[in-house]
Chain A
């Protein structure tokens, strides 16, 4: 039943994001046409040309922003398509950053991803993997003082694939506490994914390490 519900949620969300993009495309072309008409008109024939172009520029920027957001939401929706799918590590990291950017920003935390130096992909459940990673990001953002940073990266892993969520900056509490707060709530999910969660402490970079045991390719 859970799979059925997720499939439904994903399908409807994906469908709606397509419609949103269609709407944005109409707004973009309409504002583009207005801009063209101003540009192709005789100089001095329209008294507010500069103001109009400025406003149209803002519309253009915001539509493009909306397109990026709709695209990310669409990718998130499609993560629910299949319980087992090919996951590209770089795409996964980028999507986590995109989905959690606003939440991190509201806590004064900078969230970024360092692209892997090679193309890595593996088979997993994309939606549940996102759920685990986004939960970790949320907890880490809560633990950091404003001005802190979370950096997603993929350190070499002897077996499988590793994703390190490194934290930088002052913290409100030690990361060791995560083993008693966050990790138990994710235990079943992490096990079902064939992954492991661990706290990484100095001298290694400080953060949370997710290891996908199934192996990359």
Chain B
């Protein structure tokens, strides 16, 4: 069975490198990017199945990265990650993100959401389910 390829994007590099190792131990093929610009380069090069994308980053914002990914590679599933309560998570889902998760995340929940995204499972009520991103 082919491994799910995941790109983890966050300027908190210690966070994504630990998370990538944990996912790799569980049979994923995870790589990391520390900025929006680096993420776009890696998405163009390898077109991962899923991009886990931090919303707030220095330089190019997560929402801008999301728009560019969805325009160039609409098949790539994007899951937003935010450490702050804001409407950006909801906006991201409206702009094509599959889901929005709050930091810190539970790895089991993350794996489930990524699997659902890749399998094309529809969310029942995306806005309601993303209320957690609007504290």
Contact = CB atoms under 8 A, between A and B. Distances in A.
Q: Do A and B come from one complex?
A: yes
B115 to A, nearest CB: 18
Contacts of A40: 25
B85 A25 contact: no
Interface string A49-84: 000000000000001000100010011001000000
Interface string A1-43: 0000000000000100010011011101110110011001000
Interface in B102-122: 103-105, 107
A26 B19 CA distance: 9
Interface centre among A14, A22, A24, A36 (most CB of B within 10 A): A22
A18 B19 CA distance: 19
Interface centre among B12, B22, B83 (most CB of A within 10 A): B83
Interface in B10-34: 12, 14-15, 18-19, 21-22, 25
A46 to B, nearest CB: 16
Contacts of B15: 22, 25-26, 29
The main secondary structure of chain A at its interface with chain B is helix
B3 interface: no
Given A18-B84, A63-B104, A71-B135, A25 B22 contact: no
Contacts, number: 54
The 3 closest A-B pairs by CB, nearest first: A25-B104, A29-B18, A25-B103
Given A32-B22, A36-B22, A74 B103 contact: no
Contacts of B56: 18
18 contacts: A14-B84, A18-B56, A18-B84, A21-B84, A22-B15, A25-B105, A26-B12, A29-B22, A32-B107, A33-B18, A33-B21, A36-B21, A36-B22, A36-B25, A37-B25, A67-B104, A75-B85, A75-B135
Contact of B103 (A22, A30, A78): A22
Interface in B49-105: 56, 83-85, 103-105
A13 to B, nearest CB: 12
A63 B18 CA distance: 16
Contact of A26 (B14, B21, B22, B135): B14
